[in-house]
Structures are given as structure tokens and as C-alpha cells.
Structure 1
């Protein structure tokens, strides 16, 4: 989906990584610049209150049930492998992949249903892939005919053909902040992968300094498409730019493996793009991910959660299944695992952007709706401990995770059990932050009176018999 490092398999099997590795892989603190635009600062503060968002990777590739875009990339890695039945040679494969445009007809597309299910599950913002690395535009661009609204695409005849507009309008109507994912590299563009040369890897396949006019044409193309997205699609709160290898050469971090593959200058002129986006959308958050500086307003670890709180705004993008794109019979995470991950993320001050991939018919797998409905039941009872909170010392102690209200008057302590299906124990004992003296204590989701006592900085809670109603986690809420 995004960075595609060799550590991908590890990320899929383990959510926790060391802060040192996290910093190296995602350029977390090096060069982070806090925005000084008051509208951006306000938008970031509001975004940090949201905690739970929906990511959606969707394109013509869903018809083959393969990883998004990456099979076009001539890199010999596990996630780029091509299936022989889709083409015996590279060129045949690319032709067949691009011909998926002529059969893409997701007639089951109903974004209102997605928005309703996501809202009930507590999600409060959405980030949609308007264009991935393959260059197929899921919006009505005037810059290319490789798009969902082209007459070549059967779905173009549908009144909802401009799916980006339909998705943004449906989710905006339900109160979501709106995020537009956009890939800076475009492997379909002749000004990025020039047909004169074969593509060698994910990077531009010519030297932009040697052919400046061609690179300038690509910069104009990119600028114009982003101008369309930020001008023609209503209020947009987040511009989420992927493809971090398209960057000024001076920003490369040689300690990061995938960045060592960048051999030429690929400066896309982010100042021009960012200023245009802010002119069109005052206060928009710009996420030029993995490129430290003024246009990476928050950082975005992929399939991973840092072990410790970060002092800057951040978001983990993690799949509900194993894949960012639609795969038949994907292995979807349990509701318990999703809620445990949410608790870990918010206890460290981050947001959880959970990816759900629509299928070729234009809808989610039925399992997705089951998960969202199960999560909604937990959210109804526990939302006050989740939203508009910040990290709180001691952050994480054993199976206990902490958040606080922004004014510091309320402390929330979550108890989870990573090893098995959650069963609330009869007694919970945990430590308090120094100088926090609770006056009241309650268990969210339980109406019975709770017995508790404080000894020094330790609180012991005796849970009532109806603790059996607690699913996935116990949330203890105290006021100072």
C-alpha cells in the first residue's frame, strides 16, 4: 500500500515496534515542524480529538483481488509478484492490468451504507484513495482518460460514477472530516514512467535533471489534479499524500532501506502544491508522509503502533484484514483485537486509521459489517473515554492503558487481555499518576455501584457481578 518495506510481513504479524525503529522507518521526529497557520493548528487539534478513522483503498485492482498497484512495479519483492494467468510477460501484464478499466462496474456502490456503519462504530473521519500509484483516478479528472468517469469504464454511465464526490458527500453529511489520499508518483503517466525507458523500480525511470521539461510536465500534471481535488469536491480537511520517494533528494535518509533506492532528484514542489491546497481549502492538514518538514503535519506509521507516546501528532494506518486492497476471503481481525489496538493507540496519543477495502461489486465483505456493528456496541458505552482525550502517565502498565480528558480532570484506565477472549476479573489493581486524587470512580457500561479504595498511588477496584456484561475491555473512569 504505502512504504512497502521488507519488514511488511513483520508488521502484519506484530503491531508493536520499538520507538527507535519507528523513528527510523517513518522519520518521526527528525525535522518535524509544527504548523504556524492558526487554522491548521485548530484543524489538527480537532483531528486529534477524533481518534478513529476509516481508510479505503479501492480501484480497478479489486477485480483481480490483488495488492493495489504494486504488481506493476518491477521490484522483486513478495508483494509485487504477478500471477501468470494475468500475463506471461511484463508488458502483457501491464496491458491486462490497465484493461481492468474496461470491466470495472461496481454497481453495488452505496457510500451512505458505509458512512452509517462507520459512524455507528465510532469512526469520525475518512481518507479515500482518489488515485493510487497505478494512476487510475477514482475522480473526474480532466488531466487523464485513465479514470472511473471515462467512457472506457462501464461504471461511467452510472449517476454515481464520480465515486470520490459521492463518498465525500455521504460522509460529510454524517459529520466526518474528509481526507483525500493521493499518490504523488503515477506509474501510468508518460511523464513519470517514460515509455522510452523501461521502468526499473518504483522511482521515476529517467533523470529529471537531464530531462527537465518532461519532469516539469509531470509536476504540472500533479499540481492540476490536486487543484481539481481541492477545488471541486467540497470541504476537504486532510490532503494525504503517499509515495514518499517523490521528494527532494536532500531529504533522503540513507538509514531507511527503501529511501536508498532513490537515485535521482524528484522534487515535486511541495510549497507550490501546499500553498495552492491551503488557498483552496483554508486550514487543510497536509500529510506529505515520510518527508519531514513543513508539509508533514502529522506522521503515519503503517501497520504498526509505537511503543511509547509521541510528542507530535500521529496516526497508525492498519488494515482490518491482512491487505489494504480487497482480497477474497481476507482474514479480518476480531472486534476484540481492533478495540485493543484502538486502546493502545489512543493511550500513546495517536489516531487509529483502520483500512477497509471495498470489493469489485462496490461493497464491503459482510464480515466487515459484522465487525463494525460489534464495535458500535462497545463504543456506545465507552466513547467518553476514547474521544477528545490525550495520553496520560503512566501511559501503559501491564494490561492497563491510560487516557485523560484535555483539561486533566478525568482519568480513564482501560484493562485488556491480549492473550484470550476478554473476561473482566473480580478485582483490578492499578497505579495512578502522581498528584491525581480521584473523587469518583465508575465502570463504563455497568450501572451497579462499584467498590474501590486507594492506597498511596494504587487503586483497587472490586467489580460487581454484572461485570460479565463487559466485552473486549474494562473502562474505568475517575474524576479528580
Structure 2
């Protein structure tokens, strides 16, 4: 996950994003191209109904409790720093990092436990890191021995050693849509970071046009791994491709800082890859992050929420803790913060992909299950206002956020507060669009009748004492 790419992106697709978002929009591309394949269009529409997904970054790096892959990158950034105890020199560090393969043994791995907890919390799709930038495959690739199923890896003896297959099968059986994260760059491959030269930064360390045979080998390697993932792992709904610096040179946006570091052509032939993936998985949604065109079917702002509704399919990927990868004693967000973030995202027409990182033992921290249980309680009462909804102007006014059912018959109004512990007030007044004619008004989670009146384009609601039972928000549902 290039969470650490510092960008200032101008995103122009019949929408406006505030200047506050410019500084955080790590992975939003200009020039969105609507898919032409009707099955992809249909799948995107269904994906937009799901709203809440699970992201999981997991690999050998969890044993050190460090950022995923990025400490291998010879860039002097805050997220690439290396701890001296893991190697005094860069080469020693890389050797020790890659040797983590020989100790990776997450014996508590139980994807059913994850599926149970996240499903109750309302998550409806999962995106799992089959391979991050470090090149370690969390699936049984035949293209490399740097993988969890290698005899070099202790966990290879476990019947659940092919963790990607176990995760995909388990979550699919529990009704989730399945997404495969895959890093286009591979810092372990001698055809990407050629051992003849030292790596200079995150990019390929040789000129592919000067050494075309080597680059062709890398293209074949990448194609073959993606063919394995889309052929051998059951129904895959989303192919989530990361590492946007691997791209045709002509697609570089010079206004974006990290893209200015790309000095050579790194075209891996996405047309060939995408055509193969769609042959293996008809209608699969492909997300070639930050590379505008027909293979970026939705855009992916990272660790940020757009200030306004977007007119194209989008998904914010945001961590439950501070880190995408497991770190000991991570600072996990409160359930209230998570619910507030979900409400903001869906009111602007997006999906919330929340990252939870398994630890080296193969399980989540205990606090994660506490958060998921708390979210479940809120979701039990309010899910009808969340799923299969669309954005509705005015989207957001003061502490109120709006969604509507796809048929437009139901309007949902969320009230939240920045206070640490939400307390529903005795009265709420909010605007509604002029064309809304309420027939019934109810508050989700409250069984007693609600007193309300409409005056102009305002609705005034009186909440009973039962409001003290409401956690994190008040959700008002208006039926026309």
C-alpha cells in the first residue's frame, strides 16, 4: 500500500474537492473513464451497494511489527526508516528481512473467526494482500519460491498454508465479495530490482528500454501471477492493483510529487493483463490505482475522505489503527469515530474499506474484536440506512448527513456529534430537499412513536427519553 505517497492531486471528473482534501488525496486520478463492459457496469453498481469492506495487510513483516514492505525502499522518508537491530547496513537489513520467511508461522490463523466478526459488523466485501511490494506471496504461486507455501516457510506444513485461498473461500462462503490486492512492483524480483544495480528508489532500478529482455521477463512474471490468482482461487470480484509507479510513462502526472520520481518507461501491458483477468473472471472490477483509463474502474483516496460527493465510483481505504500493517499496541480508532467515518463516506457516495492487520500469530488484537462487536450493535439497528443507498443533496449540513434508498422512496438523515460520547438531543431540526414529501418519520433503534412536523423545507423531530439508548448517532428515516 503506497499509503505514504505524498501527493497533491487535482481531481476533475465533474466534481469539486476542497483544498483540504488535495493534500490528502494520495490515490485519486484525473480523467475517470466509465467502463464499457455491461457486466463490469453491473458489478460496479452492486459493489456501490455494499458500502463497508474489510482490507487486510498481512505478511512476514508483521513479525517485526513494522510498516509493510516500505523499509526495503531506499528513500529517506518517515515511513521507510529501518531499525538498527534489524540490520546495521542496508544489505544486511534486506537479508534479514527476507529471512523472515523462515520464521513465519501464524498458527492461530482462523479466517472463520474473522469472517464471523466482520460480517456481524456489516462488512460485505474483503480485499486481501496476496502480494505486497516486498514480493512475498501469500498465495501458492508457481512463479517464485518466496511465498508462504514454500518449504522454507514453517507455516507451509499447515493445512491452511495457502492463506489467500483459505481467506477467499471462507469469506465467500459467508456471503462476502472477494477482492485480491496485488502489487505490480516486486522488490524481490531480480527482473524488477536487478541485482546488477543497487535500487535507487521505489522504481525499477534499470531502464526497461535499454534492457527489454529483462523487462519482458518481469511482464511475464506479473502476468503469470495474476493469471494464477484469477484462475485458481474461485470467484474474484475485484482485482486491486497497487504500486502506481509501474505505469506507461505517458500517464505520469507531473503535478504529483511521487510521479515525478518515475524516470523510465514501466509499461506492463495492462490491456493484456486486464483482458486475461476478464476472460478468467467475467465482469471483474479492476482497480489499477492512480493510472487513469479503462483499467481504473473506481478511485481510491487513502486515509482521507473527500469533502464533497463524488460523481464516480470511489472507495476510501482507511486503517482501524494508525498503520496498514500490524504494529504492537496500535492506536485503534474508537467505534464512534469509525461509525462517523462510515456515515461521512456513504453520504458522499463512497465505500469505506477499513483495514485491519493480523499479527504474526495469525489473529487480530483483542481490541479489534471489541470494536467490531460495538459496531455490530449499531449496525443491527441502522443497516437499512447504510446499505443499497445513494448520496442525496444536500449531502451534509452541520451535523446532519443524508442518504437515500436507490428507488428514492426513503430518505435517511444521520445526526452525529464531534463529542467523545454521543448523546442524542431531545430535539432535532434539519433541512430536506424541496421535492421530499414525508409520510412517516421514525428514528431507527427507538420503538416508540416520534413527534415531528414539517415547516417549509425543515423537519422538526422531538425525541423521547428512549433516545438515551442511541449510540454514536441518531438515524432518522423518512418515507415518502
Do these two structures clear the TM 0.5 threshold for a shared fold by scoring above it?
yes
> What CA deviation, in whole Å up to 9, does each residue of 1:273-297 have, x standing for no partner?
0000000000100000000000000
Rounded to whole Å, the distance in 2 between the matches of 1:157 and 1:406 is 48
Structure 1 moving runs of 4+ over 4 Å: 22-25
How far 1:4 moved relative to its partner? 1.6
- Aligned equivalent of 1:328: 328
Cα offset, 1:7, TM superposition: 6.9
Shift in Å, 1:49: 0.1
* Alignment deviations for residues 293-334 of structure 1 (CA, whole Å, 9 cap, x no partner): 000000000000000000000000000000000000000000
Q: Is the 8 A contact 1:17 1:304 kept in 2?
A: no
Whether contact under 8 Å (1:346, 1:390) holds in the other structure is: yes
Q: Equivalences for 1:272-287 in 2 at 5 Å? A: 272-287=272-287
1:317 aligned partner: 317
Contact 1:359/1:365, CA 8 A, preserved across alignment:
yes
* Equivalent position of 2:177 in the other structure: 177
Alpha carbons 1:18, 1:306 under 8 Å: kept: no
Structure 2 CA distance for partners of 1:60 and 1:224, relative to 1, 3 Å: same
Who is 1:150 aligned against? 150
Structure 2: give runs of 5+ residues left out of the alignment. Answer: 9-16
CA contact 2:431–2:459 (8 Å) conserved in 1: yes
**How big is the shift at 1:36?**
1.3
Give distance in 1, aligned partners of 2:431 and 2:151. Answer: 63
Give secondary structure in 2 for the equivalent of 1:223: helix
**Residue matched to 1:12:** none
Task: Output one character per residue of 1:165-214: Cα deviation in whole Å (capped at 9) or x when no partner.
Answer: 00000000000000000000000000000000000000000000000000
User: How many Å separate the matches in 1 of 2:420 and 2:119?
Assistant: 28
| Distance of 1:416 and 1:425 partners within structure 2 | 11
Cross-structure match for 1:397: 397
Are 1:411 and 2:411 counterparts?
yes
- Find the aligned partners of 2:19 and 2:170 in 1 and give their Cα distance: 38
TM-score normalized by the length of structure 1? 0.97
Say if 2:22 is the partner of 1:21: yes
Cα contact 2:24–2:302 (8 A) shared by 1:
no
TM-score (norm 2): 0.97
Aligned to 2:378: 378
Matching of residues 256-271 of structure 1 within 5 Å? 256-271=256-271
SS of structure 1 residue aligned to 2:155? helix
Contact 2:52 2:351 in 1 (8 A): yes
Describe the superposition over 1:211-258 as per-residue Cα deviations: whole angstroms up to 9, x where unpaired. 000000000000000000000000000000000000000000011111
Does structure 1 conserve the Cα–Cα contact (< 8 Å) formed by 2:71 and 2:82?
A: yes
Q: Write out aligned runs for 1:3-402 (5 A).
A: 3-6=3-6, 18=19, 21=22, 25-28=26-29, 30-402=30-402
Q: CA separation in 2, counterparts of 1:188 and 1:461?
A: 60
Q: How many residues align?
A: 472
Alpha-carbon distance, 1:20 to partner: 6.3
Q: Which runs of 5+ in 1 are unaligned?
A: 9-15
Conserved 8 A contact 1:442-1:450:
yes
Q: 1:23 to 1:361 in 2, by over 3 A?
A: closer
SS in 2 for 1:216: helix
Give SS of 1:189's match. Answer: coil
TM alignment of 1:384-463, pairs within 5 A? 384-463=384-463
SS at match of 1:36: coil
